[in-house]
């Protein structure tokens, strides 16, 4: 029996040995063969020496989630060999470097063990310690190419593109590929019963990570000021913004920058810079992760109350505290929604994949300007740092940033007097001015009690008036934020509601449940506050399973707090071990809860 | 902070600056600080300085954190833009503001608590960036709004109104700024408007980070006998080492200075600062000299004042980062949008 385009390869290596480029080569060559792939990097918070894994899920059906089994394990790390072997699905394969003998105690009868003397082959063929280590990685890609039937032409083409300026490296990499490839062909029956075969399902698609997409989105949104403090897993967002700016944002001579990136002393300063820049009329943003959000709290509250736009990307990682910086989670929903002391609430946007990161970035700037408030984009490590297959991002050159209610010099010229916090239009959003625009546009920005004229106040009625207007604005936000994605299947009274990077696993799970004749409706929220359509969706069902990646059912809490949903109706489905969600977890948990619920 | 607008009293004979504005046009709301507070004198000097420089009010950003000092932006130039931020974080807000619009002029008003305790990190880093701003520390050695706790600038041996004398070493903003690389460093006294006005003017026109540490006695909590930040103590040990004149561009230096005692330093816009040195060997362009002079004065128990150091050469944050001249906030979107075709080529790199 053979299985085509449905295989999971996991590679266990030691971090700092250069395996990332080999793994990228493997994934991309399958993608170039037109076959959808999912690549997941499980890496340590470390620079060199600790175990790291890379998982390639070949999924002809185009699933988005991480795999829930391992068919082929490439066990290159002696430290984790036992664990890696244990993980292989019965009937699967384990490839190891047979240069050195394995412990006899480690064996399994129900899997196939393939030894390839990768180190010996590379040591004989290459000179220099570094080259030998790097080429060993490329050699296992060669072996996998033979075993899985990956087209060598595609690998060659990719190497030629990657090393276009270093032809010598093309040659040596191809030699390494050949070492592994030939050895596998000689010693094993190739291809294995699990293999890949060219499809045409990746045309018009890219493999891109969410941080790169969000950084690109900031450029397209017209952001000119970025302030940040490096923190995993958000760092690559600013790296991307910088590199796209260097490409698209230099002056005519290519010398001077039409952007300013400030690496701040800490997250407290980074958000302060964003507020200063936004106040002054620039589009400004900061990328961070959970610990950064904790530090930014005071300024986020300031921005809410003084009504200064700000765009914050929270690429969530596993908390609490330092937690697991290189593992994923959706654990910052509550701390972002109500960041800072006093009565505050903030607009949150939830992209589910890199393509949405790109568009959500632009939406975030438009909403922040329109609503004059902080807008937080809650991505996570899984979206931010892994390459996802996405349709090409589309751009309409007709797009113009929505700068919201900003008075121009001409408008100010015609006005008797300008007051910063008057609700002229009844939507809770006041008019603002940019400093330096016109003498009549001056106003005082303060986090202390102020009345609708912008003046300091300790008068109860005046203070409340402003606070109550902010609630009107909140309801306006509800109208403006992106609508949820809602999908109905046939006749059922139960539904799944989820958020962000759960999407792939939930969709795959819903498909599998459908095969068992369990049809559940699905709603993926894209923003907080929740639009009315979320309430309507929940109202239509007797029971709603809320699938999210944290321990405390934070999305469920937000639904209860924001929409006053009866808690008994919302059944939590929680995944919070730091690994991204997969379909089996969702299926099993839903089956268990659903059967229990039906019986009750 | 007050919401009481100051009645505008004008007299036809009031002098007008080059914009045709009188000093009254640069006033703010009525101060709510204690009667006799040093901060109000500094506010008056600020008003005088921006009036004399003929700064357009709406081109001025008044930035502050939290504390008595940080309330003062409400008390001057009501037609400008105030940003009263959070405690100790005015430098970051000003950094962002300046990043977005380098055409505005920025005055940051801070205090010893705001800058030297909660805001020490931001104070240090805004200096590193040589942000183009005038940074005032209204230094009284005490927390006023919370009723009289020592601040980090309280001197060893200085007595609080109640309780024992301070025994912890003070943080001196001037020597800290010299060490951190600030490019314009001055100290003055709220009671010396004559010295203060030209120092503020120089600080505003200096392209880079200009620090003014101004001893500003707290009449309510730190003006008693035994306090080293009282009016009496400051007057007694106050030592004018360097006086400065600010000379606008295209104006001749007409005052008569003794040879060796006057030293003009040209600023980026062609204006000059003329140092009138009490000690003719003092070199205000040497960081090492400024530092050792300062250390000797501390040992001698003197409060030395004047413009102690200047470096008019080093570029500000935008020079260091290589920004275009045009304020980033004013660049039209058409110039910022890479466009549809560019996106297609970006996409092709990710296959």
CB atoms near residue A600 (< 10 Å): 6
Q: Three-state DSSP class for A377?
A: strand
CA distances from A39 to A8, A203, A386, A388, A444 (A): 10, 18, 7, 7, 50
Nearest to B100 among A220, A277, A447 (CB): A277
ipTM for the whole complex: 0.96
If 0-12 CB within 10 Å is exposed, 13-18 middle and 19+ buried, where does residue A482 land? middle
Q: Three-state DSSP class for A6?
A: strand
Based on C-alpha coordinates, what's the Rg of chain B? 21
Q: Which residues pair with A347 in a beta bridge?
A: A375
**Tens-place pLDDT, residues A450-487:** 999 999 999 999 999 999 999 999 999 999 999 999 99
Helix axes A152-162, A167-187, angle to 10 degrees: 160
Per-residue pLDDT of chain A (600 residues; tens, 9 = 90+): 689 999 999 999 999 888 999 999 999 999 999 999 999 999 998 888 899 999 999 999 999 999 999 999 999 999 999 999 999 999 999 999 999 888 777 889 999 999 999 999 999 999 999 999 999 999 999 999 999 999 999 999 999 999 999 999 999 999 999 999 999 999 999 999 999 999 999 999 999 999 999 999 999 999 999 999 999 999 999 999 999 999 999 999 999 999 999 999 999 999 999 999 999 999 999 999 999 999 999 999 999 999 999 999 999 999 999 999 999 999 999 999 999 999 999 999 999 999 999 999 999 999 999 999 999 999 999 999 999 999 999 999 999 999 999 999 999 999 999 999 999 999 999 999 999 999 999 999 999 999 999 999 999 999 999 999 999 999 999 999 999 999 998 767 999 999 999 999 999 999 999 999 899 999 999 999 999 999 999 999 999 999 999 999 999 999 999 999 999 999 999 999 999 999 999 999 999 998 777 765
**All residues at 6 or more sequence positions from B86 whose CB lies less than 8 Å from its CB, including other chains:** A272, A298, A299, A302, A447, B65, B66
Q: Touching check for B58 and chain A: CB below 8 Å?
A: yes
Q: What angle do CA A528, A529, A534 make, to 5 degrees?
A: 90
B261 Ramachandran zone, left/alpha/beta (phi>0; psi -120 to 50): alpha
If 0-12 CB within 10 Å is exposed, 13-18 middle and 19+ buried, where does residue B95 land? buried
Question: Which of B80, B112, B113, B83 is closest to B95 using CA atoms?
Answer: B83
**Disruptive mutation site among A435, A447, A453, A455 for chain B (greatest number of B CBs within 10 Å):** A435
Q: Which residues of A touch B99 (CB under 8 A)?
A: 225, 227, 260, 262, 273, 276-277, 282, 284
CB contact under 8 A, A260 and B3: no
CA distance B112 to B216: 10
Sign of CA dihedral B160, B162, B165, B168: negative
In the predicted structure, residue B257 carries a pLDDT above the cut 70: no
- What kind of architecture, by CATH, is found in domain A485-599? 3-Layer(aba) Sandwich (3.40)
Buried b (16+ CB within 10 A) or exposed e, B166-196: beeebbbbbbbbbebebbbbbbbbbbbbebb
Q: Which residue of chain A is at minimal alpha-carbon distance from B62?
A: A444
The domain locations on chain A are 3-203, 208-386, 409-480, 485-599
Tokens of residue A479, six digits: 């109208």
Q: Touching check for B84 and chain A: CB below 8 Å?
A: yes
pTM of the model: 0.96
Q: Three-state DSSP class for A475?
A: helix
Q: Touching check for A456 and chain B: CB below 8 Å?
A: yes
**Tens-place pLDDT, residues A356-389:** 999 999 999 999 999 999 999 999 999 999 999 9
**Tens-place pLDDT, residues B190-235:** 999 999 999 999 999 999 999 999 999 999 999 998 898 999 999 8
Percent of chain B exceeding pLDDT 90 equals 71
CA distance A279 to A80: 52
Which A residues in the span 1-40 are in contact with B, Cβ-Cβ below 8 Å?
28, 31-32
Domains and CATH numbers, chain B: 23-334 (3.40.50.970)
**Tens-place pLDDT, residues A38-89:** 999 999 988 888 999 999 999 999 999 999 999 999 999 999 999 999 999 9
CB contact under 8 A, B97 and A445: no
Q: Three-state DSSP class for A28?
A: helix
Could you tell me if A20 and A43 are in contact, meaning their C-beta atoms sit under 8 angstroms apart? Answer: no
Do domains A208-386 and A485-599 share one topology? The answer is yes
Buried b (16+ CB within 10 A) or exposed e, A452-468: bbbbbbeeeebeeebee
Q: Which CATH class is domain A3-203?
A: alpha beta
Least confident among A204-208, B88-92, B306-310? B306-310
Confidence at B240, pLDDT banded by 50, 70, 90: confident
Give the CATH superfamily of A208-386.
Thiamin diphosphate (ThDP)-binding fold, Pyr/PP domains (3.40.50.970)
Nearest to B324 among A257, A284, A435 (CB): A257
For residue A92, give the H/E element and its range.
strand A88-97
């Amino acid at each position: 029996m053979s299985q085509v385009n449905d295989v999971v390869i996991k590679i266990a290596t030691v971090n700092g040995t250069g395996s990332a480029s080999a793994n990228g080569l493997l994934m991309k060559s399958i993608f170039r063969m037109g076959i959808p792939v999912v690549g997941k990097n499980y890496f340590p918070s470390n620079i060199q020496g600790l175990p790291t894994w890379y998982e390639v899920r070949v999924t002809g059906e185009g699933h988005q989630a991480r795999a829930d089994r391992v068919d082929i394990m490439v066990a290159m790390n002696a430290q984790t060999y036992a664990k890696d072997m244990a993980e292989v699905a019965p009937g699967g394969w384990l490839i190891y470097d047979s240069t050195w003998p394995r412990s006899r105690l480690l064996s399994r009868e129900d899997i196939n063990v393939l030894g390839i003397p990768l180190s010996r082959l590379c040591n004989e063929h290459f000179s220099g310690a570094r080259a030998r280590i790097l080429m060993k990685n490329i050699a296992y890609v060669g072996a996998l190419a033979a075993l899985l039937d990956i087209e060598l032409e595609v690998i060659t083409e990719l190497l030629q593109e990657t090393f276009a300026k270093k032809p010598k490296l093309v040659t040596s990499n191809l030699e390494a590929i050949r070492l592994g490839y030939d050895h596998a062909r000689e010693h094993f029956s190739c291809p294995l019963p699990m293999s890949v075969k060219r499809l045409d399902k990746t045309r018009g698609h890219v493999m891109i990570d969410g941080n790169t997409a969000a950084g690109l989105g900031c450029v397209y949104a017209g952001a000119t000021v970025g302030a940040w403090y490096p923190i995993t897993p958000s760092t690559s967002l600013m790296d991307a913004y910088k590199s796209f700016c260097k490409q698209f944002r230099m002056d005519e001579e290519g010398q001077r920058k039409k952007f300013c990136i400030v690496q701040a002393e800490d997250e407290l300063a980074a958000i302060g810079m964003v507020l200063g820049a936004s106040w002054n009329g620039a589009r400004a943003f900061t990328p961070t992760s959970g610990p950064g959000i904790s530090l930014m709290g005071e300024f986020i509250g300031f921005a809410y109350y003084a009504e200064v736009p700000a765009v914050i990307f929270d690429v969530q990682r596993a908390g609490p505290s330092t937690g697991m910086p290189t593992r994923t989670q959706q654990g910052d929903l509550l701390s972002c929604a109500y960041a800072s002391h006093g009565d505050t609430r903030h607009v949150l946007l939830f992209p589910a994949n890199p393509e949405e990161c790109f568009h959500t970035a632009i939406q975030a700037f438009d909403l922040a300007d329109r609503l004059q408030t902080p807008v937080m984009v809650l991505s996570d490590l899984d979206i931010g740092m892994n390459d996802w297959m996405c349709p090409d991002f589309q751009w309409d050159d007709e797009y113009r940033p929505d700068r919201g209610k900003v008075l121009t010099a001409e408008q100010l010229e015609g006005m008797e007097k300008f007051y910063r916090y008057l609700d002229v239009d009844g939507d809770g959003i006041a008019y603002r001015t940019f400093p330096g625009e016109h003498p009549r546009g001056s106003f005082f920005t303060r986090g202390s009690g102020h009345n609708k004229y912008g003046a300091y106040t300790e008068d109860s009625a005046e203070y409340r008036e402003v606070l109550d207007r902010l609630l009107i604005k909140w309801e306006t936000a509800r109208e403006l934020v992106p609508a949820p994605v809602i999908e109905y299947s046939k006749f059922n009274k139960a539904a799944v509601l989820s958020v962000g990077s759960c999407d792939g696993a939930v969709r795959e799970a819903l498909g599998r449940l459908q095969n068992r004749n369990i049809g559940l409706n699905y709603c993926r929220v894209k923003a907080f506050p929740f639009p009315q359509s979320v309430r309507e969706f929940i109202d239509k069902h007797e029971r709603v399973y809320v699938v999210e990646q944290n321990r405390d059912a934070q999305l469920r809490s937000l639904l209860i707090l924001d929409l006053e949903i009866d808690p008994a109706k919302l059944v939590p489905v929680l995944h919070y071990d730091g690994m991204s969600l997969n379909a089996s977890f969702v299926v099993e948990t839903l089956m268990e809860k659903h059967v229990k619920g039906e019986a009750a | 902070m007050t919401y009481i607008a100051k009645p505008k009293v004008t007299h036809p004979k009031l002098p007008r600056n080059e914009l045709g504005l009188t000093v009254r046009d640069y006033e703010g709301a009525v101060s709510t600080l204690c009667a006799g507070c040093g901060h109000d004198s500094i506010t008056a000097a600020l008003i005088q300085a921006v009036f004399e420089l003929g700064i357009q009010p709406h081109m001025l950003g008044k930035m502050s954190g939290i504390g008595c000092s940080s309330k003062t932006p409400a008390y001057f130039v009501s037609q400008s833009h105030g940003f009263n931020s959070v405690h100790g974080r005015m430098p970051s807000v000003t950094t962002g503001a300046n990043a977005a619009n380098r055409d505005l002029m920025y005055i940051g008003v801070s205090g010893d608590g705001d800058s030297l305790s909660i805001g020490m990190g931001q104070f240090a880093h805004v200096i590193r960036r040589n942000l183009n701003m005038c940074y005032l520390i209204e230094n009284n050695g005490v927390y006023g709004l919370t009723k009289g706790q020592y601040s980090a600038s309280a001197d060893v041996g200085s007595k609080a109104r109640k309780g024992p004398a301070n025994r912890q070493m003070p943080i001196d903003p001037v020597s800290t700024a010299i060490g951190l690389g600030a490019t314009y460093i001055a100290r003055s006294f709220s009671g010396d408007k004559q010295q203060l006005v030209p120092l503020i003017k120089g600080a505003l026109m200096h392209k880079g980070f200009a620090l003014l540490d101004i001893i500003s006695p707290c009449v309510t909590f730190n003006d008693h006998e035994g306090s080293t930040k009282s009016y009496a103590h400051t007057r007694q040990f106050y030592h004018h080492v360097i006086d400065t004149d600010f000379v606008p561009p295209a104006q001749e230096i007409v005052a008569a200075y003794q040879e060796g005692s006057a030293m003009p330093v040209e600023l980026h816009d062609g204006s000059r600062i003329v140092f009138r040195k009490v000690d003719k060997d003092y070199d205000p362009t040497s960081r090492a000299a400024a530092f050792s002079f300062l250390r000797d004065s501390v040992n001698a128990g003197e409060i030395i004042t004047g413009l102690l150091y200047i470096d008019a050469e080093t570029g500000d944050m935008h020079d260091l980062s290589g920004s275009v001249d045009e304020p980033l906030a004013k660049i039209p979107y058409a110039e910022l949008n890479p466009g549809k075709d560019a996106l297609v080529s970006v996409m092709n790199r990710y296959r």
